[in-house]
Structure 1
């Protein structure tokens, strides 16, 4: 079941396409905005042939054309760009003829693109109008571009059954920089709260897809090169070690318990291997999804530090061993998969980034051991008669500090299991 749920989450924008029509059929909208929210707005963001950014957008024509003060079924005005020859509002061929300057002005306000703090002004390169039942495919970049190479649907088109496809050009924008897409279209319409939008940003590194229900305001970070993505994953692995007090405490305890460099690094590597196995398992969905699982993992992260400190204090150093640390790594991996990993490995899962993360984690551990082990050896050398006692005292101190974290996490877990 957890595998199925993860696969569904990985394709969440398709769920928007499937769920919205169901919602529309169960709870029919009031006629406040006079257009259906069962079909989402579709936006493809691509690089222009001469650089810059090009946006291909499909949306209900009323959403783009109606004024913000439109009163839905209570409105007595004729909609913009409409005529009413037989009592039904249709798109007015005369109003849309010529160069369509007025229509282009309105469509140019349908989307705002920000690059950093700069607001980019679009040029309406092309547009097409269709009856909802006759519009061509718009599901891929190829089919979307083909739409603008053809002819619009035959007139007259019922106003509130019309779809408009718009091609917007932002020549001064950079596709690979940070981007933000925003629009105020339909903010005053009740229907907009249930209206879906799917945005697909197409870069050389891959396609980034986001889906939102309600007003559109989405941001995409700057693109990274392949080398940059791998480097960032490695740095994240290193940061995961030196910013985590639980990891640092465990490293110090391993250094105190080990008989030498080889044993310490072997134990550390066992921890890394276990960590990566369950991190990958969590990303692929092989983890319980119940509410109790993550709090239990949090206890499993804190409790081994207490036990390791007590074991060293009792001179049972062998209790750590590579098997025990491998098991502790397994627990830590699930903890990371449930938190920061969602940002680092968002989108299509890339195993090479996981390997880079593991390399960064391992190298940072080795760097810390390179600093800690010489200090331990120096203290042992100048305090030969008390080498065991000082190590035991430090280990016990770390264990006592970890008790508080363990009790806190145990309290949180007891709340999860509590019966109301």
Structure 2
């Protein structure tokens, strides 16, 4: 009996290896390509999806596992309806469009490159299909589908909810929207992105980016620790307002500048910024330990705020695709969201610090908290420095364009610092007393 068992185990293993993968296996990564174009009273959605991602459909085969193109039309349309049409919600203005008509269905070779643009993709899908004797494995084929929706006008505002997350463990949808008479708008969406407004109104874009900024500051532990270090030594409102305002002005400058392409584009720049953010936490925490009453804290907040603004821009870069034509509005809205998040954190933090100072001496509490934060900042800085060292760095050539860009940056920084200094001077009690004396 034992001998038969020993012989059966290798045979079972061989059979399991020889058996093809189940049609129900979920692909790890799926890339979807899509075009959306309104034309007159119809909206055309052109989609390309790997056929292996459209599971639970029986595809006719011939030979070993070749797709039988002569008998595949019905199953392909079933897969297009089940996995694509039913997963996409399209809206004209605020009303959801009815179910689409499947105008064309095509099977393509994985080497086909027609989806590089709308015209070539449409010509391919509406052109002659592959010859019926084409030998293509069903699991390697691409399914191209042209859907048509009835709409009132091509000038309407459209939104889409592509719930393609069931297609694979990670699904990336490259969507290109072609509005009439306008530039192509490209979107890169992961899994189920929710409702995407393809041409948002300014208040819709602003609302989205306010929420994004609020969530980002609450989820950015390094930004929150820096904010904690900035305000630990202060209990009065006026110093808090000055320090937080300096941080706000500074990160707003670099955030907007980065969004308009004025930041370095080298691979070394993001890890450099992350390292400097960790260094800002470490420095501010150490200053709290060494100096009992730090002066000119607003200068520290402003200087390091410029660095943190670049950090904000990295989180915002991928999301600017949802701004539509309202880039500046979206940037300002993101800043508003960040500031609301900071105010929310300060509303919780300042009373907590005040309560803590009643239980233990204020100076002792400042040193202990700052030491804990400094310990974290040191480890972050060391780890990020090791990652930064892996990127080669070379000084950019100092040509006229780069010199002009550097000059603009310098002028912008000087102007911002001057305005903030003037604002701070006006708010100063000494300045107010001088003005009062001059008025008498």
TM-score range for the pair, normalised by the shorter chain length: 0.5 to 0.7
In 1, distance between residues paired with 2:47 and 2:162? 19
CA contact (8 A) 2:36 2:176 kept: yes
Match status 1:351 vs 2:328:
yes
In 1, distance between residues paired with 2:195 and 2:331? 21
SS at match of 2:321: coil
Q: Please point out which of 366, 369, 386 is paired with 2:346.
A: 369
Structure that is richer in helix per residue: 2
Q: Please point out which of 212, 226, 230 is paired with 1:236.
A: 212
CA RMSD in angstroms, aligned pairs only = 5.0
Match status 1:176 vs 2:159:
yes
Mapping for residues 10-409 of structure 1, pairs under 5 Å: 43-46=35-38, 49=41, 54-55=43-44, 113-116=84-87, 122-124=101-103, 168-171=147-150, 176-179=159-162, 199-202=176-179, 208-209=185-186, 221-224=194-197, 226=201, 227-315=203-291, 317-318=293-294, 321-338=297-314, 340-346=315-321, 348=324, 350-383=327-360, 386-409=361-384
In 2, distance between residues paired with 1:275 and 1:331? 7
Deviations 1:2-40 (A, max 9, x none): xxxxxxxxxxxxxxxxxxxxxxxxxxxxxxxxxxxxxxx
- What is the total number of aligned residue pairs between the two structures? 294
Residues 43 and 316 from structure 1, CA distance in 2 versus in 1: closer, same or farther, beyond 3 angstroms? Answer: same
CA contact (8 A) 1:291 1:416 kept: yes
Residues 111 and 219 from structure 1, CA distance in 2 versus in 1: closer, same or farther, beyond 3 angstroms? Answer: farther
CA contact (8 A) 2:47 2:146 kept: no
Gaps of 5+ in 2: 1-32, 49-59, 62-68, 90-97, 105-117, 131-144, 152-156, 165-173, 395-440
1:234 Cα deviation (Å)?
A: 0.9
In 2, distance between residues paired with 1:269 and 1:207? 39
SS at match of 1:416: coil
TM-score (norm 2): 0.53
CA contact (8 A) 2:163 2:192 kept: yes
1:244 Cα deviation (Å)?
A: 1.3
CA contact (8 A) 2:102 2:147 kept: yes
Deviations 1:302-337 (A, max 9, x none): 011111111111125425611211111111111232
In 2, distance between residues paired with 1:43 and 1:273? 40
Match of 2:8 in 1: none
Moved over 6 A (4+): 56-59, 104-112, 157-160, 217-220
